[in-house]
Structures are given as structure tokens and as C-alpha cells.
């Protein structure tokens, strides 16, 4: 019988803490455990500390998970809670994604200061975004707009917007909802024309492979539809060697035992893109994602990534 509190690792941003508390609350409800049985352990990650450069320049997504994973492997944490889109496709040996919470709305939110929608922005307007995917999609739709790198916590970006540093910015709607800021967006972007990042809107839980006690604890809160959808999306990313240097979009929708996936890869300037759509059984999520990635890679050709990947 567990007598010590389970130690939950998380980053310290308001959004990360909201996600950790949601995970704890779901575990309490699923197992009838009191809050004292869970200790939320906050760690600062390299990605949190370095905010003046793009992720591509400083080492990629893994900078948001490295410190948490080190403490998972040492046994100092029982499991860690992450934004799924921050997770590299290859995890450290000995660790796995063991559960996903039910997915939130995966759409991108446009927050306009000088116009309510992306297409209504005046010519030459400036949009701030740290995501190469969003930058490429904006440039594809509005090549007349200037796009600048815009990093920081949600409140930091909203403050920069209010101060007039940019005309608009984009954020994940899921994060805004989890922070109680669902009234902030001036437009929710249609995934058909502005597809999200793979795994956007999903909270995942990482733990040690072979720890049956923790696996049993987390199995009770795993959402199967989210698990299959995001597994497909991450498999698509993996097939493309997806990193923070690569504008890649994609999302899967599970309906019963059926899965539909749409994916897109772009050049950073948005001028060239290749898309794919595939469907099949949810149980084949990994194979479907890998197949979609290979299809896009074949369409793009061997020189597509030359000079910018």
C-alpha cells in the first residue's frame, strides 16, 4: 500500500501547473485518494530559462523535458506531466508516455489588436509567433505580413501584444482555455486551412517503463481516443524527423475504432507545401502515422529540406 505521496513533476509556468493540477484531480477522483497523496514538484527547464531565442536555435523541444526526465530516471519523480506538443518523438531509454488526458480543443487562436482576423490585418502588419509552423502558415496565407519570433509565457505574449509590439499573435486555444482565458481570442482558426501542431491540446504523462505500480495508477485516467490520435500524430512527426526546425502540421480524429489523419509539411516561407490524408483503424495508429509521413516525404522529394532543415 502506498504511504508516501506520489511525486508529480512539472514545469513552473501557470499553464504547466494547471495541467499538473488537472492530472492530480483526475487521479484523486479515479482512485478515491486525498490530495495529500500527491506532491507536485516544480522544476525549471532550460526551455523556460532561455526565452530570447527560438527553440530551433537553442536545441529544440527536448529543452522543456530534460530536467524532468533526469529526475524520472533517477527515481526522484514518479511521473511527469507535459504538454504533448513539447515532447520530442524519441524519448530517453527507459521512459514512455503512459497516459493522455482527454484532449482539449486543438485549434489555434488568433488574437488581433488592430484587426479581429488574420485575413483582415492591414498590409504590412506584424504578427508575433515562436512557432515555425504558425509562421509558415501565416506566410502562406498572408505573404504581405511581417512575422517575428515571439517567445515567452502566455501572459508575457499577451502583454507584449497589448503594448503594441505586434498587431497580433497566435496561441493554442487549449492553453487559453486551461488558464480561464477563452474570451481572449478574436478568431479561432479553421484546421482545414490552418492545421495545428501534432499533439496540440493534449496533456501527456511520462513514466518509467516497467513500473507496474505507476502504470496501474495512470491507466485509470488514460483517454483512449486521445492516446490513439496523438500516437498517430507523433508517428507522423517521427517519420519526418520532425523538429523545431521543420514546419509540420497534422491532426487525427478518432471516432470509435476509426481514425482519420490529415498532415501538412511546408517550407518556412510557406510558398511550398505537401499534404496527406489517410484513415484506418485506431489500433493501427502508429502505422498510419508512419505511412502518412512517408507519403509526404515522397511527395516532397529528397531536396525539400535542403538548406533549412
**9 and 82 assigned to the same domain:** yes
Task: With respect to residue 290, please indicate whether it lies within any of the assigned structural domains.
Answer: yes
Q: What pLDDT was estimated at residue 309? A: 45
Does the pLDDT at position 63 exceed 90?
Answer: no
Higher pLDDT, 66 or 119: 119
Just list the catalytic residues: 86
Higher pLDDT, 13 or 244: 13
**29 and 144 assigned to the same domain:** no
Q: What is the pLDDT of residues 2-15, one digit of tens each?
A: 678 999 999 999 99
Q: What is the pLDDT of residues 100-158, one digit of tens each?
A: 999 999 999 999 999 999 999 999 999 999 899 999 999 999 999 999 998 788 999 99
**239 and 146 assigned to the same domain:** no
**17 and 92 assigned to the same domain:** yes
CATH number, residue 246: 3.30.160.40
Task: With respect to residue 122, please indicate whether it lies within any of the assigned structural domains.
Answer: yes
CATH number, residue 146: 3.40.190.10
Does the pLDDT at position 232 exceed 70?
Answer: yes
Give the model's confidence band at 297: pLDDT under 50 very low, under 70 low, under 90 confident, else very high. very high
Q: What pLDDT was estimated at residue 61? A: 52
Beta sheet of 79-83, edge-to-edge order: 38-42, 6-10, 79-83, 203-208, 95-100
Find out whether 96 and 231 touch, Cβ atoms under 8 Å: no
Task: With respect to residue 82, please indicate whether it lies within any of the assigned structural domains.
Answer: yes
**115 and 155 assigned to the same domain:** yes
Q: What pLDDT was estimated at residue 152? A: 84
**115 and 240 assigned to the same domain:** no
Q: What pLDDT was estimated at residue 59? A: 47
Beta sheet of 168-172, edge-to-edge order: 146-148, 126-128, 168-172, 108-112, 187-188
Q: What is the domain extent for residue 15?
A: 1-101+202-222
**9 and 94 assigned to the same domain:** yes
DSSP letter for each residue of 78-143? SEEEEEGGGS-SSPPTTEEEEEEPPP----EEEEESS-SSGGGSPTT-EEE-S-HHHHHHHHHH-T
Does the pLDDT at position 268 exceed 60?
Answer: yes
Contacts by 291-300, CB closer than 8 A, 24 or more apart: 291/239, 292/232, 292/236, 292/239, 292/250, 292/261, 292/263, 293/235, 293/236, 293/237, 293/238, 293/239, 293/240, 293/263, 294/239, 296/240, 296/263, 296/264, 296/265, 297/239, 297/240, 299/274, 300/265, 300/274
Does the pLDDT at position 243 exceed 70?
Answer: no
**168 and 231 assigned to the same domain:** no
Does the pLDDT at position 308 exceed 70?
Answer: no
**71 and 216 assigned to the same domain:** yes
**33 and 56 assigned to the same domain:** yes
Task: With respect to residue 245, please indicate whether it lies within any of the assigned structural domains.
Answer: yes
CB atoms within 10 A of CB 152: 15
**212 and 87 assigned to the same domain:** yes
Provide the number of structural domains found in the chain: 3
Task: With respect to residue 56, please indicate whether it lies within any of the assigned structural domains.
Answer: yes
Give the model's confidence band at 287: pLDDT under 50 very low, under 70 low, under 90 confident, else very high. very high
Q: What pLDDT was estimated at residue 53? A: 47
Does the pLDDT at position 18 exceed 60?
Answer: yes
**235 and 178 assigned to the same domain:** no
Give the lowest-confidence range in 44-48, 80-84, 91-95, 210-214: 44-48
Task: With respect to residue 196, please indicate whether it lies within any of the assigned structural domains.
Answer: no
Q: What is the pLDDT of residues 73-91, one digit of tens each?
A: 999 999 999 999 989 899 9
Angle between helices 14-31 and 154-162 (to 10 degrees): 140
Amino acid at each position: 500500500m502506498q504511504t508516501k505521496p506520489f511525486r508529480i513533476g512539472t514545469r513552473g509556468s501557470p499553464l504547466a501547473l494547471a495541467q499538473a493540477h488537472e492530472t492530480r484531480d483526475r487521479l484523486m477522483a479515479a482512485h478515491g485518494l486525498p490530495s495529500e497523496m500527491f506532491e507536485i514538484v516544480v522544476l525549471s527547464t532550460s526551455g523556460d530559462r532561455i526565452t530570447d531565442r527560438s527553440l530551433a536555435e537553442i536545441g529544440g523541444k527536448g529543452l522543456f523535458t530534460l530536467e524532468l526526465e533526469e529526475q524520472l530516471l533517477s527515481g526522484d519523480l514518479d511521473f511527469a506531466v507535459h504538454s504533448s506538443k513539447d515532447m520530442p518523438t524519441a524519448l530517453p531509454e527507459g521512459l514512455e508516455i503512459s497516459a493522455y488526458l482527454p484532449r482539449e480543443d486543438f485549434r489555434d487562436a488568433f488574437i488581433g489588436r488592430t484587426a479581429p482576423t488574420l485575413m483582415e490585418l492591414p498590409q504590412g502588419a506584424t504578427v508575433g509567433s515562436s512557432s515555425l509552423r504558425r509562421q509558415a502558415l501565416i506566410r502562406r496565407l498572408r505573404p504581405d505580413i511581417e512575422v517575428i519570433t515571439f517567445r515567452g509565457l502566455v501572459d508575457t505574449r499577451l502583454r507584449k501584444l497589448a503594448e503594441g509590439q505586434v498587431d497580433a499573435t497566435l496561441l493554442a486555444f487549449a492553453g487559453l482555455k486551461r488558464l480561464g482565458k477563452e474570451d481572449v481570442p478574436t478568431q479561432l482558426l479553421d484546421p482545414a486551412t490552418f492545421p495545428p501542431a501534432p499533439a496540440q491540446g493534449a496533456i501527456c504523462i511520462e513514466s518509467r517503463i516497467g513500473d507496474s505500480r505507476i502504470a496501474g495508477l495512470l491507466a485509470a485516467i488514460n483517454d483512449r481516443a486521445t492516446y490513439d490520435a496523438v500516437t498517430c500524430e507523433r508517428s507522423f512527426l517521427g517519420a519526418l524527423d520532425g523538429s523545431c526546425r521543420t514546419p509540420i502540421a497534422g491532426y487525427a480524429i478518432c471516432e470509435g475504432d476509426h481514425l482519420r489523419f490529415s498532415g501538412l509539411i511546408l517550407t518556412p516561407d510557406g510558398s511550398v507545401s505537401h499534404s496527406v490524408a489517410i484513415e484506418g483503424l485506431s489500433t493501427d495508429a502508429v502505422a498510419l502515422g508512419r505511412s502518412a509521413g512517408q507519403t509526404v516525404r515522397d511527395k516532397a522529394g529528397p531536396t525539400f529540406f535542403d538548406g533549412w532543415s
